[in-house]
Amino acid sequence: MCLMVAAKSAGERVLLVTRENRRIGEPDLAARLLHRDGLMLVVDKPAGWPVHRGPKGGPSLEDHFSELSFGLPRAPALAHRLDKDTSGCLVLGRHRKALELLGGLFKRGAIEKTYWAIVEGGPAEESGEIDLALARLDAQRGWWMQANPLGLPARTSWRVLGRGTAADGAPLAWLELRPHTGRTHQLRVHAEAMGWPILGDPIYGPGRRPDSPPLHLHARAIAVPLKVGKPPIEVEAPAPAHMRDALAACGAPLA
């Protein structure tokens, strides 16, 4: 495949990344494609990659969306976001009308999102719901959040899928998390507020230690009701490599 150049706007040209000119370590999004139709794509986002460039710039997944045009004149665009260190199902709209449709579905809470998390310790019960409003921690911390009764409503359902121990004997739990609202860092703050932070969380949990593992939070599945009167499109992302040992320790039946 040749190196391609495309117009992004009048008078501007942007280099499109192809599978042949990719640098070592960069994601191959075409190989991580989980679902494709005329309106949307779902890709298995790798942990450690921001979905878009931040204020300081740097590489992001958006740099590689040109690989996923599949004959359309423009690259797809983000329909929602995942944190840099979260892996799993990421939805892209293939064109403007698709993005409007998907944006409305996300805003109304019509899209069902299911996450897997490994947490330190774990809840005493087997299932429950967290209803804790969230607000920004302070202006200097950017999007870091905290539980705050004066903040925006935030609600998460959770269920224990398994329990186990880490290599050092510390207790772990494998949770299914279903956010009913879409606040920034909602699952991470809710888990920490309940006393069982997500393993490897560098902001709200034990991931501040130099020897900590990566964040163990994975967007496992998504269900998108694209067409009225038809079943939602359901997509699952496989467990990422960095979570497999902890999942196995908690009894996950990994192939």
Average pLDDT for runs of 10 along the chain of length 255: 35 43 77 97 97 84 96 97 96 98 96 98 97 84 81 96 95 98 95 96 81 94 95 97 97 87
pLDDT digits over 87-123, tens only?
Answer: 999 999 999 999 999 999 999 999 999 999 999 999 9
3-state per-residue secondary structure call for the chain: CCCEEEEEECCEEEEECCCCCCCCCCCCHHHHEEEECCCEEEEEECCCCCCCCECCECCCHHHHHHHHCCCCCCCCEECCCCCCCCEEEEEEECCHHHHHHHHHHHHHCCCEEEEEEEEECCCCCCEEEEECCEEECCHHHCCCEEECCCCECCEEEEEEEEEEECCCCCEEEEEEEEECCCCCCHHHHHHHHCCCCECCCCCCCHHHCCCCCCCCEEEEEEEECCCCCCCCEEEECCCCHHHHHHHHHCCCCCC
Q: How far is CA 16 from the centre of its chain?
A: 24
Catalytic residues, which ones? 83
pTM for the whole thing? 0.88
Q: What is the pLDDT of residue 147?
A: 84
Q: In residues, how long is the chain? A: 255
> Does residue 116 contact residue 174 with C-beta atoms inside 8 Å?
yes
- What domains can be seen in the chain, in order of their start residue? 30-249 (3.30.2350.10)
pLDDT digits over 190-203, tens only?
Answer: 999 999 999 999 99
Tell me how far apart the alpha carbons of residues 212 and 202 are, in angstroms, rounded to a whole number. Answer: 8
The residue written with tokens 């067409």 in the block is 227
Q: What is the pLDDT of residue 142?
A: 64
What would you report as the CA-atom Rg of the chain, rounded to the nearest whole angstrom?
19
